């Protein structure tokens, strides 16, 4: 198998590059235990969850947020 270089990738049509990225992400998903989650990510998620539990009415459901974004 030929090793892809950055210039090889840059020469690919956009659709092919997107497919390459999707294929790479799919291969990472096959080994989720190999992905290290930084401690600061975990702390941020804990802080956000705590803020949600403290005031659950302050946020918006995802479908409302998505609708606001798409209607712009």
Rounded distance between C-alpha atoms, residue 37 and residue 12, angstroms:
32
pLDDT at residue 48 tops 90:
yes
pLDDT of 17 reads: 97
Q: Check residue 59 and report its DSSP letter.
A: S
Contact 9, 17 (CB under 8 A): yes
pLDDT of 63 reads: 96
Rounded distance between C-alpha atoms, residue 72 and residue 61, angstroms:
18
**Percent of the chain residues past pLDDT 90, beyond the cut:** 90
């Amino acid at each position: 198998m030929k090793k892809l270089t950055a210039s090889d990738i840059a020469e690919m049509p956009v659709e092919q590059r997107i497919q390459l990225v999707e294929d790479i992400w799919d291969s990472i998903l096959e080994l989720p235990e190999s992905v290290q989650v930084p401690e600061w990510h975990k702390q941020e998620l804990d802080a956000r969850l705590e803020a949600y539990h403290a005031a659950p009415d302050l946020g918006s459901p995802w479908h409302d947020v998505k609708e606001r974004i798409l209607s712009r």
